[in-house]
Amino acid sequence: MITSIRLKWGVLAGILMSLTAGLHAQESGEVWKQEVERKIDVLTKELEKSKLGPAAEPVYQSKYGFAPAAAKVYHVGRGVSLGGYGEMVLREFDNERDNGTASGSRRELDFVRAILYTGYKFNDKILFNSELEFEHGSTANSSTAQTPRGEVSVEFAYLDFMVSKPLGLRAGMVLVPMGFVNELHEPTVFHGAVRPSVEQNLIPTTWRENGAGIHGEIGPFSYRSYVMAGLQATPAGGVSGFSASSGLRGGRSRGAKSFAEDIAWVGRVDYDGLPGTVVGGSLYTGQAGQNATVSNREVDAPVTLWEAHGQAEYRGLELRALYAQGTVGDAALINQGMATACTSGTCSVGERLFGGYTQLAYNVLSVLHASQYLAPFVRYERYDTQQKVPAGYTKSAANSRTEYTVGLTYKPIQQVVIKGEWQDLDNQAGTGVNQVNLALGYIF
């Protein structure tokens, strides 16, 4: 109200000043009139902008561990916030594997995700934020395993109690704060038509769970720390459990009637005290047995996963690196408790798994100070979901993988991205299938 009054008086003051200036300068009536109209128009626009507030110019800026569109609720004064993102990907696979055998893969065009963010800011201290996800252009996953269709799910839904900048309380379904992409997974904020393999098979993106914890910013440091329902190592209640090829990924309950007999803790710290640079790490630890028994023995399945990451940007040059390593206890019991029991051979869950990648990109338009963005990039990944297996089992060479990705990212505006890439996907068994991917993405 006070701001509006001040702006109205500003309009009147501007008109009076224009009148005085016009008389003293003895300008012609027409020139003087045009100048007055111009000043009135500028001041009127400022007044309208003050009334509309954040709705006039949406803010797309990451905050408190959320990507730009997901963080919109933090930038509104009060009330409803809407946002979202989407991405469509075309995949063209080679006809042959690296060993010369037929790949059997077909070209695929998939509307991978259509996302709606809804939030509500009750006041300066309390807000709600959520993400509703439609995957693969459908609402059911009732078809055969060979042609899986989509699903609808809640990616996150939580209440934030902003006690102060150093301390916030968060509870609900939350994103596990590990790596780069699990929290910042909007298509405009990472290079590549598809997400890095290390951040899918080592850090099982997108990983979310029901829990509660704290977060905040203290000087150049930011942190998040949650207690949540643990992973689920063996199949039950619609959860498939751990596996040899995708590690912990199948152990996510996605917040759907999560077994909470075993609780886990995850914490993350980042430092951004140097301009354009972020370095940090995270740690997840907890048991994943959820009171399951195999061969009359209770499965504890202690899991520890940690990662270290860093990124730097300087004059259009972008560098990103991440390394992750995990351990799984009771792997032999987990193997026996699989849907198809694994008692020998290469089907074992890894007792130890590791992976990492480095990525380099350069915005070639930065030298022109252009608003558009065009960056060639290259990424190297190395990971193994069976770095170590229990006695009596054998590692599968197919799970020791090395991948090279070369691509291009173009943003005509901040909220729209077009990406293309070529991937050389190798493994020690020689069964890798190279591919070319194209992607279209947006946020709003």
Q: How far apart are CA 149 and CA 155, in angstroms?
A: 18
| Of the candidates 241, 250, 248, the residue with the CA atom closest to the CA atom of residue 266 | 248
Q: How far apart are CA 431 and CA 312, in angstroms?
A: 35
DSSP string, 262-297: SEEEEEEEEE--STTEEEEEEEEEEE--TT-EETTE
Q: How far apart are CA 117 and CA 238, in angstroms?
A: 26
Give the pair of three-digit tokens for residue 83: 């946002």
Angstrom distances, CA of residue 249 to CA of 89, 304, 324: 22, 14, 14
Give the model's pLDDT for residue 249: 97
Write down the architecture of domain 58-443 according to CATH.
Beta Barrel (2.40)
Give the model's pLDDT for residue 138: 85
Q: How far apart are CA 331 and CA 198, in angstroms?
A: 21
Q: How far apart are CA 266 and CA 283, in angstroms?
A: 6
Q: Which long-range contacts (CB under 8 A, 24 or more apart) does 80-83 make?
A: 80/118, 80/119, 80/120, 81/117, 81/118, 81/119, 81/120, 81/121, 81/129, 82/116, 82/117, 82/118, 82/119, 83/58, 83/116, 83/117, 83/119, 83/443, 83/444
Give the model's pLDDT for residue 9: 41
Q: How far apart are CA 305 and CA 284, in angstroms?
A: 5
139 near 153, Cβ under 8 Å? no
127 near 113, Cβ under 8 Å? no
DSSP string, 35-80: HHHHHHHHHHHHHHHHHHGGGTS-----BTTB-TTTTGGGGSSSEE
418 near 90, Cβ under 8 Å? no
260 near 221, Cβ under 8 Å? no
Give the model's pLDDT for residue 150: 87
Which distant-in-sequence residues (6+ apart) come within 8 Å of 338 by Cβ? 234, 235, 241, 243, 347
Q: Which long-range contacts (CB under 8 A, 24 or more apart) does 346-349 make?
A: 346/244, 346/386, 346/393, 346/394, 346/395, 346/396, 347/244, 347/393, 347/396, 348/244, 348/386, 348/389, 348/390, 348/393, 348/394, 349/233, 349/242, 349/243, 349/244, 349/247, 349/389
Give the model's pLDDT for residue 58: 87
Give the model's pLDDT for residue 47: 52
Segment-wise mean pLDDT, segments of 10 residues, the chain, 444 residues:
43 42 48 60 54 65 96 96 98 98 97 98 98 90 59 96 97 98 98 98 97 98 98 96 97 95 98 97 98 95 98 97 98 96 97 98 96 98 98 98 98 98 98 98 98
Sequence letter at residue 423: Q
Which distant-in-sequence residues (6+ apart) come within 8 Å of 45 by Cβ? none
Q: How far apart are CA 154 and CA 387, in angstroms?
A: 33
Q: How far apart are CA 7 and CA 185, in angstroms?
A: 41
Give the model's pLDDT for residue 139: 78
| Of the candidates 265, 173, 168, the residue with the CA atom closest to the CA atom of residue 226 | 265
Sequence letter at residue 354: F
Give the model's pLDDT for residue 147: 56
